[in-house]
């Protein structure tokens, strides 16, 4: 299962504060065949979701779960989200 650090959840939550649409969050999606990215979109019932302060901030589609199984989403020294 994807591990998400508290700083990463806090950064995602902070980015969502300006949106009143609680049905949307950041969802991990393929950018191309080798890269993943985050999109602001609705999450699906089959997604694994991550919450902060009662709001879904991140969704991982079921199809990408095996790829992210041993990955960690964190904030790097530059303050950017990094999946490693």
Summarised one tens digit per residue, pLDDT across range 8-52 is 999 999 999 988 888 899 999 999 988 999 999 999 999 999 999
- Count CA atoms closer than 13 A to 22's CA, side-chain side: 5
pLDDT score recorded for residue 76: 95
Which tokens hold the place of 79? 């303050």
Residues 6 or more apart whose CB falls under 8 angstroms from that of 16 comprise 25, 26, 55, 57
- Reduce the DSSP state of residue 32 to 3 states and report it: coil
Which tokens hold the place of 16? 């969502």
Locus of tokens 């649409």: 21
Predicted confidence (pLDDT) at residue 5 exceeds the cutoff of 90: yes
Burial 45-84 (b: 16+ CB within 10 A, else e): eebbebebeeebbbbbbeebeeebeebebbbeeeeebebe
């Amino acid at each position: 299962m994807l591990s998400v650090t508290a700083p990463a959840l806090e950064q995602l939550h902070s980015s969502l504060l300006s949106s009143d649409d609680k049905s949307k969050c950041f969802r991990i999606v393929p950018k191309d065949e080798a890269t993943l990215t985050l999109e602001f979109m609705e999450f699906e019932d089959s997604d694994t979701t991550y919450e902060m302060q009662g709001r879904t901030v991140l969704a991982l589609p079921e199809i990408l779960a095996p790829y992210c199984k041993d990955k960690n989403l964190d904030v790097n020294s530059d303050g950017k989200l990094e999946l490693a």
